[in-house]
Amino acid sequence: MKNKAILLDRDGVINHSIVIGGKPYPPPTMAEFQFTEAIQETLEILKKANYILVIFTNQPDVGRKTQSLQQVEMFHQHIQVTLPIDQIYACFHDNSDQCDCRKPKPGMLYQAQKDWNIDFSRSYVVGDRWRDIDAGNEVGCQTIWIDYGYDEELHSQPDFTVQSVQEISKIIYTEI
């Protein structure tokens, strides 16, 4: 039997984004890296419900050379020792690279599916940006959009809209 999974964006879901002019950005340093409220408790609830927990994140600042790969790996190591995350997938490309892994393309989701034997029809994508929702819709996952009021519009509709991370587990348990 295939596994069910929660596939989460990083910045804005796992940790707070730095919002400048209505646009979210990753934290530039470890001193500015802060987990979102209740993320640990939320993920522990979902882990106990036998979900595979995967992060899939665009980190184009590495490719743009405005953030080091070492800094991103430090964030990911901190996440993995603190939270019950099974794996982190990261795309370091920019839009111009035309790779298959950069969201909204679903390459990272397909890699997670292969690695973890995931049934997308029993799984959820959680994100705070249109790219997350588009990728989740592309593969047939239920999608949960955390609406922080950024200055950008969705391109496709999510299955659920929430205002905080705490609401994620309530939606998933309602659907079970």
Tell me which of 9, 61, 132, 134 is the catalytic residue.
9
Q: How far apart are CA 12 and CA 149, in angstroms?
A: 12
Query: What is the C-alpha separation between 137 and 156, in angstroms, rounded?
Result: 8
The three-state DSSP-derived secondary structure of 58-95 is: ECHHHHCCCCCHHHHHHHHHHHHHHCCCCEEEEECCCH
The angle subtended at Cα 87 by Cα 15 and Cα 6, nearest 5°, is: 70
CB-based contact 103:95 (threshold 8 Å)? no
Respond yes or no: is residue 128 known to be catalytic: no
The answer to whether residue 9 is catalytic is yes
> What are the catalytic residues?
9, 11
